[in-house]
Amino acid sequence: MKYGSLILEKKEYVYLKRILNISGYAEDHETQKCLMALAEELKTAHIVDEEEMPYDIIRFNSKVTVVFESGLEKTMQLVIPIDKDVKKTKISVLTPMGSALIGYSKNDVIEWNFPNGKQKIEIAEVTQEETFNGIDIVI
């Protein structure tokens, strides 16, 4: 892990903690396990102000290219749950893949317990779109 722990921007961290607290409705047990693992990782996350946020950290609205152990490469955008759109490869942070990616950086290799078993994925590219920071979200 490039930075030693997850890195999250303060407002995004608060939002993420809130949605994790109300996400007991996860579709299945395996997804719930992924969200519980994310909640554990958040306990040691490094929380920073927007101006301190490294550019290569996966955050809300980041476009991410990952490479699976099989060599398969996939690009997706990590979004808040209401913005998910599978057809546009926008994945919610509350999905197993979304919960695995948030707070990691380019070139990190993640070993995560996905619903179909433990997998290693490498983060090949991270680009930032409009940041979540300027958007008011009411829960």
CB 14, CB 21: distance < 8 Å: no
Domain ranges for the chain, please list them. 7-130
**Quick one: the chain helix, strand, coil %, rounded to 5?**
30, 30, 40
Residue 135 has pLDDT above 60, yes or no: no
Domain made up of 7-130: CATH architecture: Roll (3.10)
**What pTM does this model have?**
0.86
Query: Which tens digits make up the pLDDT trace of 43-79?
Result: 999 999 999 999 999 999 999 999 999 899 999 999 9
